[in-house]
Amino acid sequence: MQLKKKDILAKYWLLVFFIIMYGFIYFFKISFRDIWQTVTTLTYLQLLLLVTVYFLFSFCTILVRRYLLFALQSRCSIKNLLYIHFSSMAAHYSTPVKIGFPLAVYLLNKFEKISYSTGTSMILIELTVNMLIAGGFAFIGNAFFFSESQGIVIRAGAVFVIVLVLIVTASWLVVSKCKLPKVTQAINNISNAYRKVTFKNILVYFLLAASVQLIGVTNLLLLTRFFSDGISILQAVTVSSTAFFLGAMSMVPMGLGVREGIVIFFLKQLGLSNTLGVSIVSIQRLLSTGLTFLLGGICGIILGVNKKVTESSKNTSSTRKSK
């Protein structure tokens, strides 16, 4: 039986993760036995708590997305949002490019009749706000706990702002000078969707997104408490936010290796051994990526994602041929 391309890619990224983990283990001269002994000290109750936090984080993420769609004057059922969230995240983890974003826009259009311009606006707002929040947490936290690494965060933040300005400028130039009606219309539609969001909506969404990011930090906080005396909430927020921000800025798919390296580095600065660091990031990655991919595959089957995408491709091809 032939493996599907998606399955091959999924195994490929899992293989990359294990290679990177082996690199960390070799570089830091850590014993596999020590890591195994550390990981196996987790009780079923502790593992259940970690999984519960994962589901809480995912559900809150879905609710916050629903509010953003409401701010964009669109409605969407929680059930479909749940399916779309996990399906699109699984697409992130099964391909070397961030195909989950356009897939989420596509599925929102197919199942909830939400326009592509509104879906695209939603994704762009989510990305911008989450990056600003993570960058802000990272900057403030590093100023208190890791002043020597603050310069890296500042430089990454400057790059993010420059890229954001360039994107906005390029969009304005396209609208004002581009002679391609479809491109101009698409950008105008996205711009019109943005205008539906009030300042109050953005402020509320910003606070909700920040709260969700704080919930996402709980797993790191719990793992450090399970394996050692733990770290403070503020330190956990700083480590997670810096890893997320720099991992996203690195443009490496899923921040694979980058986020893990940053977390291990900071935990070492906070007094945790490299063995604990590697154990923690391994559990985090397998929980977030592995569980998401599994749930995403199930949700994709329920939604019939492959069938929908195939039908859309055939319709697009037939439309082009008729022209």
The pLDDT assigned to 316 comes to 47
pLDDT in tens, 214-227: 999 999 999 999 98
pLDDT in tens, 157-207: 666 667 666 666 666 665 566 655 666 666 677 777 778 888 999 999 999
The pLDDT assigned to 117 comes to 87
HSE-CB at 2 with a 13 A cutoff on CA atoms is: 3
pLDDT in tens, 259-278: 888 888 888 888 888 888 88
Contact indicator for 227, 126 with CB cutoff of 8 Å: no
Domain ranges of the chain: 5-307
> What separation, in Å, do the N-terminal and C-terminal C-alpha atoms of the chain show?
39
The pLDDT assigned to 260 comes to 82
- The more confidently predicted of residues 116 and 179 is 116
Contact indicator for 245, 134 with CB cutoff of 8 Å: yes
pLDDT at 56 > cutoff 90: yes
CA distance to 110, 146, 175, 277, per residue, from 271 (Å)? 50, 13, 53, 10
Report, in angstroms and rounded to the nearest whole number, the Rg of the chain calculated over CA atoms: 21
C-alpha 194/C-alpha 50 separation (Å) is 36
C-alpha 260/C-alpha 80 separation (Å) is 32
What's the gap between Cα 194 and its chain centre?
22
Cα–Cα–Cα angle for 119, 122, 127, nearest 5°? 130
> Picking from 40-44, 95-99, 319-323, which range would have the lowest pLDDT averaged per residue?
319-323
Ramachandran category for residue 139: left, alpha or beta (phi over 0 → left; psi -120 to 50 → alpha): alpha
159-191: b or e for each residue (b if 16 or more CB lie within 10 Å)?
ebeeeeeeeeeeeeeeeeeeeeeeeeebbebbe
The pLDDT assigned to 321 comes to 47
